[in-house]
Structure 1
């Protein structure tokens, strides 16, 4: 059956190796990860784990024993130095491993602030892995002053945890509004109000000029000239796909590691899945940064390694937890020209995105029914009349039968 090597021990890598074994693959499997712990969930890192509500072992996607029990060679704290696609080998600290199939699940890397504006000062953090969160956790002390740079979902989630723990939170977003890149103004308005209610000082249309301090950060100067005293900084200004290893080996890159519909890269017997991979979608190509995509795409690749020949059909959905609000997002809102607001009750609200008469996406806040129905409508290619959606008396489930 050969030897499958999976590089990147996150959600996608763990899903791929588990699917291979569960599907009856009897060959060798090696899973290589740079972190010194088994594959774990990332979303709870900056929420339940940071707040002390979840212990480390509960983060693990599977018990460490799972890998040995399923004859999966899990190599933790190991870094792949190079891929030789012609020889079908990978190099790890002087050791050369041969593969029959190689899967790249190398994830993504957070953007950092330049050293020239203080990005390398002590106390400046990003939110991506266990080490990042362990490093910042001791700073979450009631009354501490934290500056959050970036008003996307990562920044807003960090702000919600900090505010709940009693910190003084200032969030700056250089765009005109928070969530500008990913959501409609209506969704931005909802979350701005939510954070302001919890005491977060949100400053939109204001960038960071520089951080100040000798060794550790102690202050910040904003683009409007405002000076702030800060105890630490969290940077949430986007991520970039982990393509360095693939690129160095000559594999084609296009907003991530470029794959075909099956998950194959430009190199024979090399596949990619998860945050690092871009793939065909409708009339173009996309890269999805989400847990559901990492799982589904990695499992699709595992099946195709075993000969399934099945194209990956993405069903985009995402979520974000802030305070007592669970936001669930179905679909992609790219190209929308209208947003319909549906408010079934005082505690729930949904923002339905349309392009013309076509339903594209739904942002559902504490509205699981709206999310579930919206997701199924989008996947079925159904677009209810916007006036029907806006009516809170509408029986959403009945729309699925229409």
Structure 2
């Protein structure tokens, strides 16, 4: 039986909110505080590069819960006041406004911070997409633009390029990979994704990165690539990855290394847990530390942490999962695809726009991807469960 009487959740996005809801649902009746850097009520991030950017949704539709549902949590929402320090021994959080918050249990759910190009600071027409304000500001400029360059060919960059192209803009996707999302999907599927973008009118410039931004006054006008190519642009979107939002944890006493380092129960220290994009925890099934940046993991990890806070936790060993929507394709990826994985078509046909790919490494099945075949991909996922959810004999805790 847990003796926890107060819980402080630092970060009010999907992971933080899910942890709070799970605690109440599991019978926790103590005090509950959610501390957030943003002023907005909790909202979903996956729609930012798609439905919000395209205008299919009004920003309010991205909210995860209504004001009435949030009120039913009987929790204090301290918004617009980012955490700036933590004393892990005392479980004491200091905020930007000078508040000191202490709790029996602290959950770190501060997510990530987008990387930017140093040259884009202070330059109008350059954007990132991380929060709701970013997406709204970018959409406003896209409505007046003609030429867009997206820097970064991972999932966010590819989604942003697809959305901008569907708005009728001239779009160039620039990145270091030979094809979009090669590192996440492998060369076979990434090749089909490149074909999808090309068929829809996106210009792909793979294997390069920007060398210099061109401006007129403080407005971006284009950029030069590392291969010497010159591109004109009214808007430049940077999607070159993120870093865990852990700067506020410096000198906290926690182990910080590409995220908050946690054990198999997502515990960073006695009475302190981490969830979501900022958490790097020991996955007993894989036998190594893992950090995942996706919506599904943030929510599933939050459920596991809520159980652990209340004394009924188990090692967190998910089969990783994420999805991406680009043009008319929904890609659903189960497991983790390693660079040396062998890919084989398991079902369907790329010519029909529907197929399933199975990935294998020397140990066995490690991943499944469905391209507009969700049911079939879920069925293929069963081959992965034993590998991801059974602790390795050689596994040792961090």
Shift of 1:379: 1.0
Question: Matches of 1:54 and 1:141 in 2, distance apart?
Answer: 15
Q: Which runs of 4+ in 1 moved over 6 A?
A: none
1:197 and 2:199 aligned = yes
Is the CA contact 2:333–2:370 (under 8 Å) kept in the aligned structure 1?
A: yes
In structure 1, the residue matched to 2:396 is none
Is the CA contact 1:142–1:166 (under 8 Å) kept in the aligned structure 2?
A: no
Query: How big is each residue's C-alpha offset from its partner over 1:182-237, in whole Å with a ceiling of 9 and x where there is no partner?
Result: 12111111011100111111011222111111301111111122222110101111
In structure 2, the residue matched to 1:324 is 328
Distance 1:197 1:142, change over 3 A: farther
Question: Matches of 2:113 and 2:381 in 1, distance apart?
Answer: 29
Query: How big is each residue's C-alpha offset from its partner over 1:292-334, in whole Å with a ceiling of 9 and x where there is no partner?
Result: 1101111111111111131112220110000110000001112
Question: Matches of 1:271 and 1:221 in 2, distance apart?
Answer: 44
In structure 1, the residue matched to 2:101 is 97
Is the CA contact 1:326–1:365 (under 8 Å) kept in the aligned structure 2?
A: yes
Is the CA contact 1:111–1:239 (under 8 Å) kept in the aligned structure 2?
A: yes
1:241 and 2:247 aligned = no
**Alignment equivalent of 2:222, drawn from 219, 222, 231:** 219
Question: Matches of 1:160 and 1:88 in 2, distance apart?
Answer: 44
Distance 1:370 1:120, change over 3 A: farther
- Unaligned ranges ≥5, structure 1: 383-402
In structure 2, the residue matched to 1:39 is 42
TM-score (norm 1): 0.90
Question: Matches of 2:238 and 2:295 in 1, distance apart?
Answer: 21
Query: How big is each residue's C-alpha offset from its partner over 1:245-294, in whole Å with a ceiling of 9 and x where there is no partner?
Result: 223312101321011111111x3211111110011122211111111110
**Alignment equivalent of 1:167, drawn from 149, 169, 192:** 169
Task: Describe how 1:142-161 pairs up with structure 2 within 5 A.
Answer: 144-161=146-163
Question: Matches of 1:268 and 1:157 in 2, distance apart?
Answer: 39
In structure 2, the residue matched to 1:289 is 293
TM-score (norm 2): 0.91
- Unaligned ranges ≥5, structure 2: 389-398
Is the CA contact 1:336–1:360 (under 8 Å) kept in the aligned structure 2?
A: no
Length, aligned pairs only = 379
Query: How big is each residue's C-alpha offset from its partner over 1:93-146, in whole Å with a ceiling of 9 and x where there is no partner?
Result: 12222211111001111111113xx45411111111101111111122376100
Question: Matches of 1:381 and 1:221 in 2, distance apart?
Answer: 45
Give SS of 2:276's match.
Answer: coil
Shift of 1:73: 0.6
Question: Matches of 1:200 and 1:180 in 2, distance apart?
Answer: 17
Is the CA contact 2:264–2:282 (under 8 Å) kept in the aligned structure 1?
A: yes
Question: Matches of 1:368 and 1:274 in 2, distance apart?
Answer: 24
Give SS of 1:248's match.
Answer: coil
